[in-house]
Chain A
Amino acid sequence: MLEDKIIEVKNIKKICRGKTILDIDQFAVLKNKFNFIIGGNGSGKTSLLNILSLVEQDFRGEIYYKGRKINKDEQNLALRRKFSVIWQDPYLYRGNVFYNIALPLKLRNIEQSIIDKKVREMAGRLEISNLLEQSAYTLSGGEKQKTSIARALISEPEILFVDEATTNLDEESIYFFNSHFADLVTDEMTVVMVSHDRRQIKELADQITLLKGGKVKTTKTINDFNFELFGAGIETFIAELV
C-alpha cells in the first residue's frame, strides 16, 4: 500500500569507475518500521543507504518520499532535515561533545536555551553527560559512537538511517547499543538499518532486504517467517543468503 511506504526508489543505478555498484528495480522503506538491509561486502548496502538518506546525489533513477517524486538535483533541505544518519565510523567536528550533539539544532536555528536543555537530556539518555565538555578528539570509539547517536537523534528525525553502527565497537559498547537502541527510537520513527548483527535483526527487524552484487535479491517482512521457529528461521535465512 502506498501509505505504508515512506521512501521508495525505482530503477536505481549507481556506476562508479565503470563498475555497476547498485542496480535496483524497486525498493521501499516501510513507515514506522525497522527496515534492515543485509548483504556481503561490496553488495551495495551503504550505497543504497546513502541514496535513500539523500546524502548521495550521483546516481540514476527515481526516488519517492510518501509517493511524491523527489528532484534529486535540488538541495531538498526541508526533506533532508527530516532524516538523520548514524555512520559506522562517525565523523565528529572540532570542538567538544556538547558542540557536536548540538550541531543539528544549531543548523536549524533553534534557540540556545532549548538546545542546552535537549542536549543535556539526550546526553543523559546515552550516559555521556560527563563527557559534554570533553574534546571530541579525545573520545574512545564507543564514546564517539554514542555522541554520534545523540547527534542523530537530537533533531527527532522522521527516518533514522543506521550504517553498521556497531561494527567497529568493543563488546561493552555493542551491548549498550543493543540494549538501549530500541528505547531511543520513538514509535513515530522509521529506521533503515544496515547490520549484520543477528541479535539486532532478530529483535528489531520488521522487514529484511538482502542485497547481492548491487541488486535486491529478496525482501521479506516479519510475517514471512514462522513465528514459532522464528529464531531458527531467520538464522537459516541469513545463513543461506549472505
Chain B
Amino acid sequence: MLSLPTVVVGIFVYSLISRRGVLGELDLLFTPAGIIMGQVILIIPLITALIRNIIFSMDEKLYKTAISMGASRSQKFKLLILEARYGIIGAVIAGFGRVLGEIGVSMMLGGNIKGVTRTITTAMSLETNKGRFAFALALGIILLSLSFLINFVTYFLQEGKNYARR
C-alpha cells in the first residue's frame, strides 16, 4: 500500500464521487474537498506504516514500566503516544510532503480549474505544456522551498531533538 500509484487512487476516488458514483450526490468532483479526499486515501497507508514502525521499535521496557507504575489501559496508551510523539509528528509531516508534490490525484479529481482546484503541481504541468517554461520553473522553486522547509522541520523533530538529548 505504500507504493500506491496516485492515478489508481485518482480513478478509484473518481469512481466514488463522479455523478454516477456511490458518493455522487455530494458533488465532490472537481472541488478542493474531492482533492483532499483523494490525498487522504493516498497518504493514510504511508503514515500508518511509518507510525506502526515507530511504535514497534519502541523499547519493550516502556510498556513493562508503565504496567509496574500502575497505569491503566488508557494511561499506557497515553504514555506510549507521548514517548513516540516526535516520530508521529515526523510521520505526519512526511505524509504532507508526499501530498505536496503530488499531481495525479489533484489533476484527476480537481480538474485544474483556475482559482478553484489549481495546485502548484497542476499549474506547473499546465504552464510547461503551454511553453511557459520559466514560469513553471519559478513555481518549481517555490515547491522545492516548501519541500525543504518540511524536510528541515521533520529532521528537527525526529533527529535534532534526540541528538541534543544524547
Name A's B-contacting residues (CB within 8 A): 50, 53-55, 75, 77, 80-81, 83-85, 87, 89-91, 93-94, 103-104, 107-108, 135, 137-138, 151-152, 155, 161
Residues in B whose Cβ lies below 8 Å from that of A54: 67
B70 near A90 with CB under 8 A, answer: no
What distance in Å separates the Cβ of B86 from its nearest Cβ neighbour in chain A? 9
Given known A54-B67, A55-B67, contact A91–B61 (CB-CB < 8 A): yes
B75 near A107 with CB under 8 A, answer: yes
Q: Which of B65, B72, B73 contacts A90 (CB under 8 A)?
A: B65
Instruction: For the complex, give the distance between the alpha carbons of A50 and B60 in Å.
Output: 13
Instruction: For the complex, give the distance between the alpha carbons of A53 and B69 in Å.
Output: 11
Given known A91-B59, A93-B79, A137-B166, contact A107–B65 (CB-CB < 8 A): no
What distance in Å separates the Cβ of B58 from its nearest Cβ neighbour in chain A? 10
Instruction: For the complex, give the distance between the alpha carbons of A155 and B71 in Å.
Output: 12
Question: Is the CB of B68 closer than 8 A to any CB of chain A?
Answer: yes
Q: Which of A50, A104, A135 contacts B70 (CB under 8 A)?
A: A104
Instruction: For the complex, give the distance between the alpha carbons of A93 and B165 in Å.
Output: 12
Given known A93-B82, A94-B83, contact A87–B72 (CB-CB < 8 A): no
B69 near A94 with CB under 8 A, answer: no
Question: Is the CB of B19 closer than 8 A to any CB of chain A?
Answer: no
CB-CB nearest in chain B for A78: B70
Given known A94-B82, A138-B165, contact A155–B67 (CB-CB < 8 A): no
Instruction: For the complex, give the distance between the alpha carbons of A137 and B166 in Å.
Output: 7
A75-B73, A90-B65, A138-B165 are known contacts; what are 9 more A-B pairs with Cβ within 8 Å? A53-B68, A80-B67, A83-B68, A83-B70, A91-B62, A93-B79, A107-B72, A107-B75, A152-B68
Instruction: For the complex, give the distance between the alpha carbons of A53 and B44 in Å.
Output: 39
For window 57-95 of chain B, which residues contact chain A by CB distance below 8 Å? 59, 61-62, 64-65, 67-73, 75, 79, 82-83
What distance in Å separates the Cβ of B154 from its nearest Cβ neighbour in chain A? 18
